[in-house]
Amino acid sequence: MSVISSIGSLLSNSINNPVKPSTTTNVNSASTTGISLTSNINESDEAASGIEKIFEQVEQDPLFAKEMVEIYTFIPDREIYDANDVPSDIEAWRAFQDRTNQFSQIAEDVTEQRIEIYKKMKAENIPDAEIFKSLMEFNKSLPMDYQLKTGLSRYSIYV
């Protein structure tokens, strides 16, 4: 089973069968790149359980841990934003695109830091589950603004 389908199966139940949210967090954050991030995070017990299962499966399945480490190490983060906030006029679109490009550069820098963590730990023959934990700890150490923009904040509570 591929990682994508594994993650999908772990979380699909919470997406396809929503339940009453157990927590609601309203976040208003002005970004360092100028894009305002406003989101309502409604995380149900089931969704939280799905994320928790990812962490459990990393502990139990070395192949899954290896795949997750590779995904979290080498794939740059992407900014999450409300499509309704995307500007429609050309000048505003260019400014939006510039801010998006600036964020992408920051994400590339973060990815390079993750790669360094990965290389160092691999050179020391540290198991992938431990590397995954270290990557999650690194993610948790990132500025909250960055975590909120990328969705990493949803995982930080499990580290």
pLDDT tens readout for residues 107-148: 999 999 999 999 999 999 999 999 999 999 999 999 999 999
72 to 16, 67, 134: CA distances (angstroms)? 25, 9, 11
Q: Is 123 exposed, middle or buried (0-12, 13-18, 19+ CB in 10 A)?
A: exposed
pLDDT of residue 24: 32
